[in-house]
């Protein structure tokens, strides 16, 4: 299961009024983004980094296409996230709602109900932390945005960190983001490596 993040000290939240305005801006950004493509660098808790390309199409569709030679693929088809390991012909699948990434994939979710604003950084980055208090096993996600007037809602999605229930941490940093560009639905299909199964 993927885990991602931006390192951040979890200290007192921003003042309530300012935080409400930031969350509203984040919500506006998420609702304005129908599609996005980007390059990503994913670093796990052991310091190993993998790179690749990200394709996102709301609601619920996402694809992490890893660099050549990495036999992994992660795809969200609107209902579930699927991780395929082609080296061992293994497929793992779980509901999108059970993943911290659901905050990015469902534009209709009310961010203010499960996220809080973290103190700003010296470079002006916006940080929010999201978790489901009823399901701590789903993990915690810290999402970073940079302020950019030309981006949807005035924010550029910069990356995120996921911390799971076992304290495994992973970070994804994005670059070359492009918003609301055409993405073919076939992007979110995948080949099933298991014997006697047809590909998707």
| Banded model confidence at residue 15, pLDDT cuts 50, 70, 90 | very low
To which H or E segment does residue 155 belong? strand 155-163
Per-residue pLDDT reduced to its tens digit, 131-149? 877 777 778 899 999 999 8
Q: Which residue has the higher pLDDT, 97 or 153?
A: 153
Q: What average pLDDT does range 177-196 have in this prediction?
A: 94
Max Cα–Cα distance, the chain, nearest Å: 57
- Check pLDDT > 80 for residue 123: no
Per-residue pLDDT reduced to its tens digit, 161-174? 998 877 889 999 99
Q: How far apart (Å, rounded) are the C-alpha atoms in residues 74 and 1?
A: 9
What's the pLDDT at 100? 81
Peptide bond before residue 59 is cis, with ω within 30 degrees of 0: yes
Per-residue pLDDT reduced to its tens digit, 101-116? 888 888 778 888 888 8
Domain boundaries defined on the chain = 16-179
Q: What average pLDDT does range 29-41 have in this prediction?
A: 95
- Check pLDDT > 90 for residue 1: no
Q: Which CATH class is domain 16-179?
A: mainly beta
One-character DSSP codes across 69-110: T--EEEEEESSEEEEEETTTTEEEEEEGGGSTTHHHH-TTS-
Give the CA angle between residues 151, 52, 177 to the nearest 5°: 10
Q: Which residue has the higher pLDDT, 89 or 120?
A: 89
């Amino acid at each position: 299961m993927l885990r991602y993040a931006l390192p951040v000290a979890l200290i007192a939240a921003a003042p309530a009024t300012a935080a409400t305005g930031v969350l509203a801006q984040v919500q506006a950004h998420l609702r304005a983004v129908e599609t996005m493509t980007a390059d990503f660098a994913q670093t796990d808790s052991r310091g190993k980094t993998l790179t690749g390309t990200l394709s996102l199409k709301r609601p619920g569709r996402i694809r992490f296409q890893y660099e050549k030679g990495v036999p992994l693929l992660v795809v969200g088809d609107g209902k579930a996230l699927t991780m395929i390991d082609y080296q061992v012909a293994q497929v793992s699948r779980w509901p999108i709602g059970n993943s911290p990434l659901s905050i990015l994939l469902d534009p209709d979710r009310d961010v203010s109900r499960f996220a809080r604003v973290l103190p700003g950084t010296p470079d002006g980055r916006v940080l929010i932390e999201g978790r489901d208090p009823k399901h701590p096993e789903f993990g915690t996600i810290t999402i970073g945005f940079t302020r950019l007037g030309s981006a949807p809602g005035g924010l550029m999605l910069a990356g995120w960190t996921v911390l799971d229930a076992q304290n495994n941490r992973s970070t994804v940093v994005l670059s070359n983001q492009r918003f609301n560009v055409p993405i073919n639905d076939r992007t979110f299909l995948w080949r099933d490596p298991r014997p006697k199964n047809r590909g998707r």
